Amino acid sequence: MTLDPDAPIYVAGHRGLVGSAVWRELQRRGHRGLLGRTHAELDLLDTAAVQKFFATEKPAHVILAAARVGGIHANNTRPAEFIYENLQLQTNVIHAAWKSGVKKLIFLGSSCIYPREAPQPIREDALLTSALEPTNEWYAIAKIAGLKMCQAYRRQYAADYISAMPTNLYGPGDNFDLTSSHVLPALIRKFHEAKSTRAPAVTCWGTGAPLREFLHADDLARACVFLLENYSDEKIINVGSGRELTIRQLAETIARIVGFPGEIQWDTTKPDGTPRKLMDSSRLFALGWRPQVDLETGIRAAYDDFLKREAQKS
Ligand code: GFB
């Protein structure tokens, strides 16, 4: 299917890292029927409000990019918010989408839905084969419920609802707050602040040994549109870059890009989380999609975005 540029497409979470990238990509492609609502305009936790929105606007397609997200510390310390908000908002959106006749919906999960000890690179069929990583199991359980809901609505109602599992993401508009962010934006802030104050050292969390794969949000946005147009299957599909590095290598790369000359220290009282999380994205690659943004270029752009936003604050 080719997306009709006039079809109403609802991007849930269009102000977030992923949703805003999807919005830019659809605009770039000339879509005129984009629908977005800020949190103040539509609270996705409010079932009645979500149903009313869908009944009134009748979107043809939905990209479900709204979620309560955060890094290892936020996931580990706010489990109730992560499980409740994600279960509630995705249930509201998927059910209201079906009730109002949405033709196609893409639900976004996460690589943390896979078992902690999954064989690497992680294939889609590793889902539910063994125990989850404890630091983010609440978020993971909510995301697993979301993908299962899409599968159930496909089985019972023939709804063309698909689920993509992105790897760790970064990009413009990211969360740079040190207590709730993911590692990449956190380290941009830490190294930048240390450089500005001429601090001799920066402390990163954990041992630096875990391996992570990173994907730019613009690449995920292109993958979402590609999958809307080219994928209709009950099976979940991985979206990764195929490239991994240790957190130590990531820290060294960010320190170099930011221009921090000092020492990098490791606080091993902080958790490492999953030891390795490299996805096998060969099913998506076989369909013809490829990531375009290499990590070095992407980090430079993310640092520029950070500097721009800091300048706007002052
Ligand atoms: O990105 P991150 O917070 O989440 O952390 P996960 C990745 C790794 O970087 C962990 C280390 O080993 C952290 O200990 N790290 C080092 C830091 N310094 C820092 C720092 O200053 N801040 C942060 N945040 N990390 C998340 C899940 O797991 O991945 C979510 O909690 C989601 O549910 C997301 O799945 C994609 O990669 O460990």
State pLDDT tens for residues 92-139. 999 999 999 999 999 999 999 999 999 999 999 999 999 999 999 999
Alpha-helix residue ranges (DSSP H) falling in the chain? 17-28, 47-57, 72-77, 79-99, 137-157, 183-196, 217-230, 247-258, 282-287, 295-313
Query: What is the structure's pLDDT at 185?
Result: 98
Ligand 1 interacting residues, C-beta cut-off 6 A: 71-73, 75, 110, 112, 135-136, 139, 168, 181-183, 186-187, 204-206, 210, 212, 247, 270-274
Q: Does 157 participate in catalysis according to the annotation?
A: no
User: Pick the catalytic residue: 139, 161, 231, 303?
Assistant: 139
Name which residue sits closest to atom 9 of ligand 1, judged by CA: 183
d(CA 304, CA 191): 14
Q: pTM to 2 decimals?
A: 0.98
How far does the centroid of ligand 1 lie from the alpha carbon of residue 183, in Å? 5
Q: How far apart, in Å, are the Cα atoms of 299 and each of 19, 185, 270, 295?
A: 19, 9, 24, 6
How far does the centroid of ligand 1 lie from the alpha carbon of residue 69, in Å? 11
pLDDT band at 31 (very low <50, low <70, confident <90, very high): very high
Residues above pLDDT 90, as percent of the chain:
99
